[in-house]
Every structure is written in C-alpha cells, then in structure tokens.
Amino acid sequence: MDFKGHFALQNGQRCHPLTVLDDHSRFNLALDPHGDQTGATVQSSLTRTFRLYGLPGQILCDNGAPWGCGDPTCPYTALTVWLLRLGVRVIHGRPYHPQTQGKDERFHRTLQEELIRQHTWRDLAHYQSAFPSFRNCYNCERPHDALKGATPVSVYTPSARSLPSALPPIEYASGLTVRTLRSGGFFTFAGQTWYVGRAFAGLPLGLRPSAQSEGQWEVYFSHHKLGIINLSHPTEPKHKLRNIYTSSPLTLT
C-alpha cells in the first residue's frame, strides 16, 4: 500500500492516488484519487477494498503517515491499530529504501506513463472516471512479464476472511492480566508506569509472564504481541514513563 506522489489539478486541488497491490499476483485492489493523505481517508478506501476482496494477512507499507510514525516511543498510529483489530498485520520497509515496495513503485510508473501524463486533469472526479478503465486493462488485459505473460486477475485469489460488520471485541484468555490504557497512552502495572502510545488510549492490553526470563512480561494487543516489560530491571526511575517496545513493527530490508 502506498500513495503515489501527489500533483496539481486544474481546479487548484491536488490529487493523491492511493494504491493497493496484491504481492503475489500484482492484482490492483485499490486505485483511489484523494484530496489528502489522512488516516480517515485511507481507512475509508481500505474498508471498501476489504468488502470486495476480503481481509489480507498483512500489509506492507513505508514509514510515512498515516500508517507510519516517526516517534520511536510509539511506532503505531490510529490506522494501524484499526488494522490490528481486524487481524491484519502491518509491516514496514526499511526507511529510505523504496525498493522494498518495488512492485507498487513499478505500478506507479505504469500509471504515470500510461494514464496520468496522457491527459490534463480537471479535478478529482475526472480522475475517478478514468481510473476504472485503467484498472481493468491492468488487471484483466495486460500481460505481465513477472507472471510469465499471465494477467493479474488470472493469478489472483480473494481472501477467505471477510470484513466483519463491526470491529471484533478485544478479548483475552483468563490467564492474562488486563490493563486499560489511560488517555495519555500509558498504564500502571506492579507499581511501575509504562508508555504504549496514544494510538491505544482507552483500549485494553493483555499481559502474561514471559517463559524466557523471570521478571519479564509480554504485552499483547488482541492477538498481537507489542513488546516486553521488565519488572526486575527498570531502566528509568519509577516516576517516569517507559517505552515497552523491544522493537518497532516488523521491518523488511
């Protein structure tokens, strides 16, 4: 998933095309012209896409907003928390390495050469009218060298996991200790205060002792392990908030 570089329209707006590509088949699941790059805009596009094609196991994206966060004390955003609640893992490419998302970058080049530069665009509605025919040609008619001449639609298989009508409840097994994050994005446990991030504010986390080391507790959000806290060797005075993350979300090189 990525935004293609935005550009000006005749009416003074800027177009921000959001693209979502299937990693295996190169099938283009979403090609939406937007006037901004906010989390709400992306969530709206992904909701439509998930209704059509089902939920993916994971989404690869870069480190920019709204799915990336430059704050090392909380590498999650409201958008990625929404995806985690749907059971979609979020992974990121290495910073300043766009080649990690090379398939989507190649799609952007095709979009630029075969559609965008061929016209003078009035407004977002003008783009919206032109994108479906481009998608149909790209997915259903154009042979791809990487697919040995096949079309993406002939290789693509929709997900068997459908988008639920509402976000599933956040539930934990009886053996886990549950803490709800306060508005600042932190919780207190065993006399120590830990910072998780504002993106999780008001939501419950599950904690369980780690089998690896005494004094360590694993911290979960739904089914996703966020990090580890160490009660035996706190790294800062107790009155300070501490970051729980042993690492940022999975990054591909």
Q: Is the pTM of this model over 0.85?
A: yes
pLDDT band at 137 (very low <50, low <70, confident <90, very high): very high
When pLDDT is averaged across residues 45-68 and rounded to a whole number, the result is 94
Q: Is the pLDDT of residue 119 over 70?
A: yes
Quick: pLDDT tens for 212-237: 888 889 999 998 999 898 888 666 55
Question: Residue 56 and residue 78: Cα distance in Å, rounded?
Answer: 18
- Among residues 238, 237, 214, the alpha carbon closest in space to that of 228 is found at 214
pLDDT band at 149 (very low <50, low <70, confident <90, very high): very high
When pLDDT is averaged across residues 101-108 and rounded to a whole number, the result is 86
- The CATH class of the 2-155 domain is alpha beta
- Quickly tell me which residue has 């060298």 as its tokens: 145
pLDDT recorded at residue 199: 92
Question: Residue 179 and residue 205: Cα distance in Å, rounded?
Answer: 5
The Cβ of residue 92 has, within 10 Å, a number of other Cβ atoms equal to: 23
- Helix, strand or coil, per DSSP, at residue 30: strand
Report which of residues 52 and 237 the model is more confident about: 52
pLDDT recorded at residue 219: 94
Residues of the chain with CATH 3.30.420.10: 2-155
